[in-house]
Amino acid sequence: MDWLVDWISDWIKQGLIDAITGQYTGIFESVNSQVNDVAGQVGQTPQGWNGGVFQMIQTLSETVVLPIAGIILTFVLVYELIQMILEKNNMHDFDTFNIFKWIFKTFVATYLLTNCFTIVMAVFDVAQHTISNSAGVINGNLDVAASLDDLQTQLEAMGVWELMGLWLETNIIYLCMWILSIVIFVIVYGRMIEIYLTVSVAPIPFSTMVNREWGVMGTNYFRSLFALGFQGFLILICVAIYAVLVQSIPSNSDIHGAIWGTAGYTVLLAFALFKTSSLSKSIFNAH
């Protein structure tokens, strides 16, 4: 009868070992997937990320927002002309050079407005160039296979109840990693949605840039563009730090420490990604 109990115990133990090994491998494959996916997503320009959405945003901007911006630009330029005349004692002390200066500003304002989408995309092209040159520092391919033999030895030395506890632990961590993957997905993809929303109204702030008083709107908008563009660079740095931190985890002799360490670093990554938006805006003084 003892042989039957031993056989059942060994069968359960082997099943638990196989399940734990599979979950352990799955956790680190999830890490590899997260690192590669984030690094790939932030390296995309708005037109490259989703061509269909970009085309729709560009059409809306040019057909709906641009006419409104034209009206605002007309108001700003007329307001500036009236203000310039009144400042010179109702043209009694007026210098004709000011008319040429106003005409030049009108030309510049019109040029900026009609080419605002090209200028906006140029900002993101600059940010994309920076991100592309930095992408080589990312190395998130963890070698899990090298540690599986040591893991197998550790698991075989454990009892059935200890293995059941570890199996439950790996399931909890795997679920947490899945939830954190969703959080990271929302942050990275949410940045691209924010970029599309910001780009869609580009003509309106661009229509105010040549005026001294109204130009604050355009200047701050330009800062926001750079903040959004270089937020991708900050996200890339976060992922690079994360990739370096988790490199040594698979070879950790303590399986509990390896699993919880991975979860802890992933939580830290999600928190850091949340902070990239406010940090980027703070650097570029955008609000």
Buried-state track 232-245, b at ≥16 Cβ within 10 A, e below 16:
bbbbbebbbebbee
d(CA 259, CA 171) in angstroms, rounded, equals 10
* pLDDT (0 to 100) of residue 3: 55
* pLDDT (0 to 100) of residue 16: 67
Count Cβ atoms below 10 Å from residue 87 Cβ, excluding itself.
Answer: 11
* pLDDT (0 to 100) of residue 72: 85
Domain ranges of the chain: 31-135+145-283
* pLDDT (0 to 100) of residue 210: 77
CB 27 within 8 A of CB 262: yes
Measured in Å, how far apart are the chain's first and last C-alpha atoms? 76
Parts of the chain with a pLDDT under 70? 1-14, 16-18, 20, 24, 26-32, 34-35, 39, 87-97, 135-161, 247-254, 256
* pLDDT (0 to 100) of residue 188: 82
Name the region of 254 (left: φ>0; alpha: ψ -120 to 50; beta: rest): beta
* pLDDT (0 to 100) of residue 278: 87
